[in-house]
Amino acid sequence: MNFDFSDDQKLLRDELRKFLVNESPLSEARRVMDQGLSHSAAVWSGLGGMAVNTLMLPESCGGHGLGALELCVVAEEAGRQLAPVPLASTLYLAVQALLLGAGEAQQLRWLPRVADGQIATLVAPLDGSAMVRPRFDGKALHGNAPLVMDGEAAHFAVVLADGPDGRPLLVVAELDASVARRRLATIDPSRGFAALAFDATPAEALDAVDDAETLLDTLRNRAAILLAFEQLGGADSALAMAAGYARERKAFGRAIGSYQGIKHKLADIYTRNEMARAHCYYGAWALSCDAPELALAAAGARIAATDAFGYAAQENIQTHGGMGYTWEMDCHLYYRRARQLAVALGSRHAWNERLVRELEKE
């Protein structure tokens, strides 16, 4: 039994935390939001400098043989700072899709671009719903993708398209000038979504895919675990913010944290966070060894982390009273991010169903 991160991974955590606390304070998420940017270029390139982009890449593509557990550590720390960077689109989704569905030569064409700091994304319905698909004619993409994470900034994308024979096919597309992009207004403007229109956008089919749906299913599970770590980090820092305020703010002659209405609420948040942490670690384990329990562990991590972050974010506002309801206070940043992440890979209801389907198999 060894159910913890290693000392080296903890060292990486300390380094990342130091970097992100300095370079990606919550004011950075706020700046991205206020200025209508797609992401923080400084934080993204800083993370690249710490070799975050190459985690999980094969050595031939610039990787270091480090893997999934390290990426989980990155996700948690980025989540803690609500870092406005395209980690999910690039590393949890596009890279994973190429790792799962591209042959060696094809990986060598695309993955080094991630190592160089390019942004990538996935164009496919992540909640499993049916969506009108772009058309792939064998060489290029045509048609619309209405909801693409980091679609404004992405350099290339893995796209679920209708192939020449009408069957769904995964392709990787160069998002060049042929793509018309429209930034979408979102509930958390510090993380961007866009609508894309492809007009003969150059693309090639992923060359090692057995079945697109099966691949997407595995991809969803992997991404859910990584995203759950971002949610966990967010939940923990929302709790820290609430506890900090509860220690200082006074009402009726004493600190509000001494009232059980507040104290027990915060203990409840802590409880949910630690249960979520347990499930996230389980997910990390399943991801790191491609365990048969991957789907179960992913759903568990996803639901527990979604609930924990949602609750922490909402009660953090409550703990701050009127101050919590101002634009100036950071509470709403968590409130926004928590909801956005909660649905970005499909809602808790859809994940609940995935979980129970796995339980039924046991």
Residues that bind other proteins (CB under 8 A): 1-5, 69, 239, 243, 246-247, 254-255, 257-260, 262-264, 266-268, 270-271, 274-275, 277-279, 281-282, 284-285, 288-289, 300, 303-304, 352-353, 355-356, 359-360, 362
Q: Which is nearer to other proteins, 59 or 360 (CB)?
A: 360
Smallest gap, in angstroms, from Cβ of residue 333 to other proteins? 21
Nearer to other proteins, 10 or 182 (CB): 10
Q: How far is the CB of 86 from other proteins (least distance, A)?
A: 27
Q: DSSP string of 151-201?
A: TTT-SEEEEEEE-TTSSEEEEEEE--TTEEEEEPP-SSTTS-EEEEEEEEE
Nearer to other proteins, 86 or 233 (CB): 233
Rounded CA-CA distance 225/20 in Å is 21
Q: What angle do CA 259, 260, 261 make, to 5 degrees?
A: 90
Considering the complex, what minimum distance in angstroms separates the CB of residue 185 from other proteins?
A: 32
Write the single-letter amino acid at 110: W
Amino acid (one-letter) located at 234: G
Token readout for 80 is: 């803690």
Least separation in angstroms between residue 353's CB and other proteins is 7
Closest approach of other proteins to the CB of residue 275, in Å: 4
Cα distance between residue 188 and residue 83, in whole Å:
12
Q: At what angle do helices 260-289 and 212-248 cross, to 10 degrees?
A: 150
CA gyration radius, the chain? 20
Cα separation, 259 vs 117, whole angstroms: 49
Instruction: State the minimum distance, in angstroms, from the CB of residue 6 to other proteins.
Output: 8
Instruction: Give the phi and the psi of residue 167 in degrees, each rounded to 5.
Output: -85, 150
Q: Which is nearer to other proteins, 1 or 185 (CB)?
A: 1
Rounded CA gap, 340 and 44, in Å? 20
Looking at the Cβ atoms of 170 and 284, the one nearer to other proteins is: 284
What sign results for the dihedral spanned by CA atoms 133, 114, 51, 190? negative
| Pick 1 or 130: Cβ nearer other proteins | 1
State the minimum distance, in angstroms, from the CB of residue 63 to other proteins. Answer: 20
Q: Which residue number, 71 or 266, has a Cβ lying nearer to other proteins?
A: 266
Confirm if 40 and 28 have CB atoms less than 8 A apart: yes
Toward other proteins, which CB reaches closer, 50 or 278? 278
Looking from the CA of 277 toward its CB, the CA atoms found within 13 Å total 15
Smallest separation, CB 248 to other proteins (Å): 10
- For residues 16 and 75, the answer to whether their CB atoms sit within 8 Å is no
